[in-house]
Each structure stands twice: as C-alpha cells, then as structure tokens.
Amino acid sequence: MKITSIHGYHLAFQLPEAVGNSTGFFDRRESFVLRLEGEGGISGWGEASAAQQAVSGYIRQKLAKLVLGRPAHETGRRYAEMTDGFGYDRQGTAMLAVSAVDMALHDAAAREQGVSIATMLGGALRERMLAYASGPFFKPDGDPYRDFEKDADALLERNFRAIKPRCGYTPEADGRMALALRRQLGWDRALMADINQGYTAAAALDSARHMQEAGLLWIEEPVRPDDIPGYRRMAEGSATAIAGGESLSTLAGFRDFLAAGCVSVLQPDLSICGGYTGFKKVAALAEAYGIPVMPHVFGTVVNLYSSLQMAATLKAYRGGGPLPYPFIECDATHNPLLELAGRVNPDADGCIAIPDGPGFGLTLTEEQLAPFVTEHWVERL
C-alpha cells in the first residue's frame, strides 16, 4: 500500500481553569496530529508533542516528498531517509516531525496487515498494564497544593492505583504535600512526583529529602534535561529513584544521559524521540544499562493508544509499586482529545487493557477531531 496523501491537523481547546507546574501555568492546550492516507482508504495516525507550526512546516517542506508514493510498510527505510536529511537540525523540530510520520507509517502498515502495532513489532508481552494518573496540577493564586487531596480523591474514584502529582513550589511545601498524599493513599498505592525541570540540583535534592518519608517510586525531571551534572548529582544524592528523558529526542542524547547514570527510570516520548523506530533504539540502549523504560504520554488519544502499543512490547522490571514496570501515563487534566473514544478509566485493579485491534487499536475520524481543528492542510501525490 502506497501513501497517497498527508493530512495535518492543528488542534486546540480551552481549559475550564488554568493549571500549572513549577515552570508556569496554562489555560489552553494545543496539539498536532498527522494522518497518512494510503491506497484503499487505509489511514495511519501520528502525533508531535511540541512546536506544532514548525513541525507542520517541516513535514510539508522536507518529509512529504520522502513519504508520498512510497509503501507504508517500509518504516525502517523511511526513518533512515528522513533522519539522514537532517543537516544541522538533528533534534528539536526535525525529530518531532519524524516522530509523527514514523508513528503514522507504523499505524498504516499495521492496519493494512489487519494486526495491532504491538503484533507487527514482534508481539505483545502483556495484555494489560498499570495506569498512573499524571496529576494533580498546581492551582494559581495562593497555595498551589490546596486542592490536591480533593483532586486525588477524584482519581482514586476512577480506580487509579498510582498517582504522580506536580511539585517544585518549595522543598518544604513539596514535603508536606507528598506526606499528606501518602496518608491519603495508604501504602498499597504508588506515589511519584514530577518537578518538571523547575529546580536547581541543590533545591531538587532538598525537595527529595523533604519528600523521602512519603516513599515515592520516583522523582521526575528534577532539573533541565541538558543539565547532566545536575541529574548525576540528584541520582547520587537522592534516596529516591530519579526519572526523566521525555524531552530527549536523539539516540546520542539518550546515550549520554544513560552513560552519566542520570536516571533509574527512563521515559522517552513516542512523539518526540522518533516514533516507534526511534523508541525501539532507545529501549535497546536502556536494556544494555539495565534501566526500565516506560513511555511519557501527555497529548491526544493518538499518543496514548500508540504508547500502549509500544509499552506492550517492553521488557518488564520490578521497580516497586503494585506491578512490574512499565506503567502507562494517563493525563489527569481536562483533555477532550483523550476522550474521543470515551474516557480512559482503569479497571478495579488499576490496569487498562492494551487494544488488540488493527493499528494502534482505535478508529479515529476527521469528524471526531472537527470541534478542535484550528487548521487543516493536505499534501497529495
């Protein structure tokens, strides 16, 4: 099946109230999803997590000519051609664009074969996995943690057995928040914390000390992703495992991150690190270091369902918590782009099933996206 057209969709929606983390607040979400259409009307979907307008332009100007008229199943060949043409831009916009295209090619190829992407990648190692709620988030104007216990109650009612709140306000406030949530959750549920790059290494270490008694599974993104010395200082000085990697895009970047001993949990994002092809390379590299890998997910239903397919194929590790890694991240904010096929709630055991339908397991249509589309373009043969 050859690709006959490429559709780009810029999506946006307004949040009912502003939410935030250690680096700021936002009241609007934007996304970019890509649809490759092939002969016979088969479509494949992909997503890019940031720099939507730049990614869109890069795909139209640089990548479309490498994909149109070519077979969907030649995913490795397309990846090599797309990345060989990077020139000076070997990360950032270029890799985000490649990520969206690679995801869509895999989706289209699997749908052509009538199998799931996990099956096409060699077979799923699990049928279900633990879902963790990515939230609660900061509230503006006053104590950012003031509603965390109420928000956590709502997540527990949805059957989440693992919760990852935002932190990074002050080390002392972080500690009070984490201990309060631990008392609320009990010790049979998992608790993590995400600093979102907001601290210096010294402040992050202080925060880790204040949160230590809460028994966190990990502390995520304590410092900026290019601060390898800061990550190494955290990894050496914190009794709690350090997680990160969502902002990295290139294999060389992940290599340096792992070689420096920065993390105990690696979190590449399928829509940033090169789609399935790039993610598989990162996972193989991490396995050589004995580091568990689980997808970072914070976007639309395309990235969530695609990440479930990828996570189904990953090696299992006992890292603590109710079940072995990998877990799957579920955005706990108001996000209608995650609910296009209904709200994703874990079952009573805190797990969600990995879809076994063709492609990433969900039939998505333009009509479902229509209420959120701010721009739509098409490139054809």
- Say if residue 258 is in the same domain as residue 293: yes
Q: Of 60, 62, 48, whose CA–CA distance to 97 is shortest?
A: 48
Tens of pLDDT, residue by residue over 196-228, are 999 999 999 999 999 999 999 999 999 999 999
Q: CB count, 10 Å around CB of 260?
A: 13
Identify whether residues 77 and 197 lie together within a single domain: no
pLDDT in tens, 54-111: 999 999 999 999 999 999 999 999 999 999 978 666 678 999 999 999 999 999 999 9
pLDDT score at 89: 66
Q: CATH number of the domain that 30 lies in?
A: 3.30.390.10
Do 201 and 98 lie in one domain? The reply is no
CATH number at residue 168: 3.20.20.120
Statement to judge: residues 219 and 333 lie in one domain:
yes
Does residue 234 share a domain with residue 109? no
Q: Are residues 283 and 211 in the same domain?
A: yes
The percent of residues above 70 in pLDDT, for the chain, comes to 99
**331 pLDDT tier (thresholds 50, 70, 90):** very high
pLDDT for 328: 98
Q: Are residues 168 and 312 in the same domain?
A: yes
Note whether 86 and 185 are same-domain residues.
Answer: no
342 and 367: one domain? no
Residues 77 and 147 in one domain: no
CA distance 167 to 200: 13
138-142 average pLDDT score: 95
Residue 62 domain boundaries: 3-118+361-380
Do 102 and 40 sit in the same domain of this protein? yes
Task: Assign 134 a pLDDT band (cuts: 50, 70, 90).
Answer: very high
Distance CA 309, CA 327 (A): 12
91 and 186 in a single domain? The answer is no
Please tell me the predicted confidence (pLDDT) of residue 305.
97
Name the band, by pLDDT with cuts 50, 70 and 90, for residue 342.
confident
How many domains are there within the chain?
2
